[in-house]
């Protein structure tokens, strides 16, 4: 199989659909608590599809609204700005990449895993008194490179997924073996193309190799959250070789068996509720 070059990836990334302007703004200011609520309401309301998806999420039992949410302004008032940020980003990304016929790739499983990592990352960030919104968003986006492969390199990705079932190697390892590139590097290219923050780019690029110098602490959080999500077993796809969690990352987060059990239980409960309420 011919390897895939970074130049090819960049070209294919440029052909992918652009995110709505409001989503780009949220991704670039996810850690900004001073985002103007009226401006956010106005911009979301200009996008019919985004408004519909936002209201659908806001009305799910998961977010606990006591009355029926009928406007974006109501959603922000009832749920809070940070929650609506997450809803808007989730809703937009879920419609950005269309379903395709990539054998072995399940969009539903992909979103289950992405949401599980986001939930675990948020829990870890809260325990460490770090920005939970940034952690949640990075967790949601960490495997976005896999969507590029499934969308733009379907045949090559099918071969990766098939071989992963036939040998005890992680998907990351099989990608590098067959394609000479991996979904983390592809995700990094997409994050750069979409002008994500440097912190987000590094977290996506390094979530399988967080011990590399210069990646930042968010990459460590996403790496451990990824391991937690695999431990939860939220997908229907066989996981013969889940990625190992770096001991250095584990120690840097100050985790022990007791705290891990607590985080695992909390993440499982949160994901179960999310799955029941909005069917991820």
Does residue 13 sit within a domain? no
Q: Kindly report, residue by residue over 228-258, the tens digit of the pLDDT.
A: 999 998 887 766 667 788 888 988 998 888 8
51 and 150 within one domain: no
- Would you say 208 and 172 are in contact if contact means Cβ atoms under 8 Å apart? yes
How many domains, the chain?
Answer: 2
Which tokens sit at 222? 């996403």
212 and 155 within one domain: yes
Q: Which CATH number fits the domain that encloses residue 239?
A: 1.10.3210.10
113 and 190 within one domain: yes
60 and 184 within one domain: no
163 and 38 within one domain: no
Among residues 199, 258, 247, 259, the alpha carbon closest in space to that of 223 is found at 247
**Which pLDDT score, from 0 to 100, does residue 65 have?**
67
135 and 272 within one domain: yes
150 and 79 within one domain: no
Does residue 9 sit within a domain? no
232 and 134 within one domain: yes
134 and 272 within one domain: yes
Q: Range of 71's domain?
A: 18-96
Does residue 11 sit within a domain? no
Does residue 275 sit within a domain? yes
Which of 42, 68, 96 represents a domain boundary (last residue)? 96
Q: How many CA atoms lie within 13 A of 186 on its CB side?
A: 28
Q: Kindly report, residue by residue over 134-171, the tens digit of the pLDDT.
A: 888 889 889 989 988 887 888 999 999 999 888 778 88
156 and 39 within one domain: no
Rg (CA), the chain: 18
Q: Kindly report, residue by residue over 203-233, the tens digit of the pLDDT.
A: 999 999 999 999 999 999 999 999 999 999 8
Longest dimension (CA), the chain: 55
192 and 92 within one domain: no
Would residue 2 be called left, alpha or beta, if left means φ above 0 and alpha means ψ between -120 and 50 degrees? beta
145 and 69 within one domain: no
* Secondary structure string (H, E, C) spanning 33-55: CCCCHHHHHHHHHCCHHHHHHHH
């Amino acid at each position: 199989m011919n390897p895939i070059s970074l130049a090819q990836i960049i070209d294919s990334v440029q052909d992918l659909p652009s995110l709505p302007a409001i989503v780009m703004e949220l991704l670039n200011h996810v850690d900004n608590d001073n985002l103007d609520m009226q401006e956010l309401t106005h911009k979301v309301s200009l996008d019919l599809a985004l408004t519909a998806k936002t209201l659908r999420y806001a009305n799910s039992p998961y977010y606990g609204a006591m009355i029926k949410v009928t406007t974006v302004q109501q959603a922000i008032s009832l749920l809070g700005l940070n929650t609506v940020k997450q809803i808007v980003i989730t809703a937009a990304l879920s419609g950005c990449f269309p379903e395709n016929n990539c054998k072995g790739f399940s969009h539903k499983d992909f979103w289950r895993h992405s949401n599980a990592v986001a939930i675990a990352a948020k829990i870890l960030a809260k325990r460490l008194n770090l920005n939970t919104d940034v952690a949640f968003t990075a967790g949601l986006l960490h495997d976005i490179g896999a969507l590029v492969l499934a969308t733009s390199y379907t045949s090559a990705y099918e071969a990766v997924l098939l071989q992963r079932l036939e040998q005890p190697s992680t998907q990351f390892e099989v990608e590098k073996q067959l394609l000479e590139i991996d979904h983390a590097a592809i995700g990094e290219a997409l994050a750069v193309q979409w002008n994500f923050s440097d912190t987000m780019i590094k977290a996506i690029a390094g979530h399988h190799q967080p011990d590399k110098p210069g990646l930042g602490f968010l990459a460590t959080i996403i790496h451990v959250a990824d391991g937690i999500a695999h431990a939860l077993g939220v997908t229907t796809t066989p996981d013969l070789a889940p990625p190992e969690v770096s001991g250095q990352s584990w120690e840097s987060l100050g985790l022990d068996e007791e705290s891990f059990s607590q985080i695992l239980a909390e993440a499982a409960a949160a994901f179960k509720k999310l799955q029941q309420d909005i069917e991820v």
